[in-house]
Amino acid sequence: MKAKWFYDTPIGKICIAETDGKISHLIFMHASLSDDYIEEETALIKKAATQVFEYFDGKRKEFDLPLNPMGTDFQRSVWAALETIPYGETRSYKDIAVQIGNPKGVRAVGMANNRNPISIIIPCHRVIGSNGSLTGYGGGLDSKQFLLDMEIKNG
């Protein structure tokens, strides 16, 4: 089964989706999801939304959800590395490339980060440029800054 539901958050409207009993997407409203998802707030989607709102309230620093981000093996290795970045900290694209054993793959890491289908829960917002600058984010740079500031404040 594929289901999706929409929520208003402090950084705008999001869509949380599940595929076969695992969270497959947390996307911002300007992103698109295929038409084969039914609109239904399943128990798992509701649990994910509860955890996301606890995160926004500063009460949750780690998520406890079954995830199924669909992508290539390389993308999945990048996304797994993102999950190791502690709350309130950042890493550079180069740091992630080195962590996954591909130190020359900085650009590829950037592309994989950009294609992360489960934003916030898989914290791609914690990846910044090597010079400390904010770089692209699916929810926009204002949202990325909001999330980073919120984590520092609630750390």
Tell whether the model's pLDDT for residue 138 goes beyond 90.
Answer: no
pLDDT band of 56, cuts 50, 70, 90: very high
Dump pLDDT digits (tens) for 99-128.
999 999 999 999 999 999 999 999 999 999
* H or E element at residue 27: strand 22-28
Topology match between the domains 2-56 and 73-154: no
Q: What is the pLDDT of residue 50?
A: 98
How large is the average pLDDT for residues 14-35? 89
Contacts of 101 (CB under 8 A, 6+ apart): none
For the chain, the domains span 2-56, 73-154
Mean of per-residue pLDDT scores for the chain: 93
How large is the average pLDDT for residues 77-96? 97
2-56 CATH pick, 1.10.3470, 1.20.58, 3.10.50, 3.30.160: 3.30.160
- CA dihedral sign of residues 61, 25, 137, 139: negative
**How many whole angstroms from its chain centre is CA 91?**
14
How large is the average pLDDT for residues 145-151? 95
Q: What is the pLDDT of residue 30?
A: 64
Tell whether the model's pLDDT for residue 62 goes beyond 90.
Answer: yes
Q: Which residue in 52, 124, 127, 150 is the catalytic one? A: 124
Known catalytic residue at 15:
no
pLDDT band of 92, cuts 50, 70, 90: very high
Q: What is the pLDDT of residue 31?
A: 66
Question: How deeply is 140 buried, as exposed, middle or buried, from its count of CB atoms within 10 A (0-12, 13-18, 19+)?
Answer: middle
The hierarchical CATH code for the domain 73-154 is 1.10.10.10
pTM of the shown model: 0.92
